[in-house]
Structure 1
């Protein structure tokens, strides 16, 4: 954008000021520096004023000047040309000042000048006019069965108060809707219909120094004349897993239902009529989960739909104990309905399980709010002080977050059969516990394959090894191992493999046998069976007595 003449002169003046300042600093001449204090500084730029409540904030941009201190002096100007009045607001080295004594209802302009060395003053820069127009105080709008009344306290500087009414939406300004006659402190509007929703905008009007009327933006209130709306008495709340809940209620014939969530039960009895602000004291309006995207065609029936005549909502609550309150709102009236207590807790994440013979080890990710977890399983668990055995063989245990961290997870003996394990978080709120939805995992069982060793042959130097499974399973590859010495071997690597049984499927009670001839040694020896490495998770070998294993 090309510069105009004023911009060009300002730019040239700024460049000259920088050049002169640099020359003085280089010359280090005190007389020349003193003379510079009389040089007129450049005026500030970008001066603007904005209303902040009953104050006016004036700001500007700093400008380069000759060597020496530069301050900014701000003056407020009000009134017409012949009766204009100037009031000093302040002088400072910064670039913003707040005028706390600006008159109400009067156009005010602010002039800002740069002051160099306390003597030289720049040309003033003036802001656009601003006007402080406070709203009325203590505005109350009340709906009756056939009328709407309002009351307020007007600011002392206001010359009048206007009110406008519109049905279905708030009036945007004068002329938008129907003007309501006021007496300066309120109104009674009888030109209304029952059960219709009206919006009222109430504005304070001021007379500026130029004799023009200037109004505030206005306060908007909603009112619905008619009988008080009925309360919701059949509110139903059910957990939806995690911190989500499903809420159902019967749609009232008038008013709209607002769901509020608080940490305590409702302080009112159902049917109590209160103001919307009072109802808000129970807690904030509930956060609803986003509705699913519509599907073309007939609306599908969702599981848990409340049925005709009932409303449905899915809410997101915080972890812990909450009280959901239904409030029927019509205009300025709120009718309290039923309050329902609900306990919610976020579930664990990433549940994983690993079997070690008859024990199962669990791991999961804790939600931030959880302090403990309830672990349950079926069908088998050992007794013990920290475990509970159910009549059907099910078991349960409580695992605190500290125990989990110290042990690196959770582990319990759950038998060798397949087991269904569930973990539920526990959140403690105000001495009460909220238990989350279960997260489950199925842990496959581990079959037991027993083996026996019998002597065979005329000289009883051969051995027959019989293996039998207690239930159907996948038998791993099994090695028959001979080892010399007094110490019993613990792996196939500690001896000599005499035979190998390949992996196969075994039915319950099915027997597999193999005949071997151990070598003749000079001392005692052992004959044992071992599963192939990393191939014994689905089944384990149960050895016979030591008498059978010794040679």
Structure 2
């Protein structure tokens, strides 16, 4: 297939079917393919335009090609830029085409929904007309219909006249009898529902066949025959005659269906909407909903276009063109005049009278009253010559209370709107330097916020109201002189000095600075002030100076403050201690100058310790902290590198840092001496894989061991070898491995004091009739026992504390050099018993072997 044939099939034919609407998408219009290159775009555009010229010879494409060529001329700069290598305008236009396509499809979709209404049904002619007007293809139109579930089909043909000539009288009798429909009269109930009319009448799911209709007629006839003869019986007989005649001539279904159609047509003539007709058909007449939608669609689409002079006049009158209708009537003979002619002439006469009244009001200065008269006239005869021109020349009343004030680098206009309420009134503004504008054309149009006014020039503004082509008298404000302040004013304070910088307005002669009312030497872009004291807040006024002829004009100025500070002292080192459940105490000497803050970084800081950096360069990840007498209490909340910085003014001194692992400190640390071991217990620190246990014996070097959670659980704690009588400090901290490095969290510590160990032994001495118990005490160094108690307990269970038995002997303030022997009579007990010694917490008693403690076994 040649390029021309393919282009016609893919582009020209769909565009012609869419009402000669060229495709919005330039990719489709010019058959552009990605990737776009200047050479490919230029060659393809040339090929497409040659196809246009060859296709224009065919009459069916001529109108479409003319539109394509006209729009191509508007696209000339886009393709010229592409030919020169700049594809930016073309790509922007392609994106705009996508947006316009989407907008066009949305408009068509809305028109389809409006035309379908609550019935959600369209005729093919309506659908095609909307598609062509919107310039969419048949495929796009079908897709839009599917999206909203709209149906497209021709309305059913409905009978124009009743199949039974006497239907009118039968209908009057039904009204007298109060029957809802002829079908309800036949079935003997107004509560029938689910009525179907197309393809044969049925009710409640049961078809009305001939046999059933005959039985129903016999039943209804019998019921009325048994009633007394009165006017109701006469009317019933009229309806029965109509039903019998229709049944005999095989027109019963046509008569019953026409009765429904006639009732809907009456409602339609009463200007009922489609939704109201649906409600009447379903709820009022009992028609099945789908059948009701089909029936209402057919009824609403009945009627044709008006024909002849009367029809044309009616069209003109409905369009508001009464003058054209009157001219049409003047061209007809008096015997040919339809009733619409009188209406047209009456409208023109009334409109002419209103036009005269509008002219009188205009001459009297009441333009709003004249506008209202002309609005009424437009409703009668919008095509009356001179009407619209007169209306467009009616000026509105001017606005009031116009004011202009400087707002930063712009001028803001305010006013009270025009009191005119007739028509659409707009407000416009013009600006002129040096003098007030004389009219709407005497100046430069500006918005209500003039963002780019001339600087150091007297400006006058005029606001006027516009309605159509007419404008009110301008209302002026001014003069206003814009003299901008220095912008981006920034102060920086240091040790005994303050520096400032700003951007000077180009039109300003210079910038001056006052510190606490005293002048400070300054340049055009900044200053350095060394006449300040640390810790004192100074107030600076930075203002611009303009030259007005020979006079210097100062601006109010920008007010800023600065407090110089001594340089901050860096924290050279700090220790970390647990402080609370999720907080740490960073312990360090409080620096003399500056406030200490903590930062949490991902990696080590880029500055060396002691470096002085601007505060703005510090990372934003500040750690929540609280000052403390010994340093700073922080809550890191995550793992990282803790850095302490000292801040003073706009400077910060970088201090020491150390890695931090976000692990909680162990809780409930206990350390208990058990002979030559110290038993350590604690609450496991969160999700730590292991803990590091350190211990220092008698102030010696620290020893460290790692303990896993499994080992801690299996051993019931940690046991450290510590000589008896030696003090020990125990520390426990959680550990975590990151990137091959073992990091340690906050630690908790406990001290175990050096408690003297006293050993004792029990021996039975003496003859059988006078047995004695010898208690031998030994120790490594002299000690003094504040209390020593010997306890006896019967049975086979050893006493655990002094209250777990009976005191046999108590000694107070026993001096023990290195060995002593105490004697007591051996108690006489009926059975086996235990003996055991207990002392205070100032010493540790070491029990002898169990066989020495148990007696009489």
Greater helix share, structure number: 2
| Same-fold call, TM cutoff 0.5 | no
Bigger RCO (CA 8 Å, 6+ sep): 1
Largest Rg, 1 or 2: 2
Q: TM (normalized to structure 1)?
A: 0.44
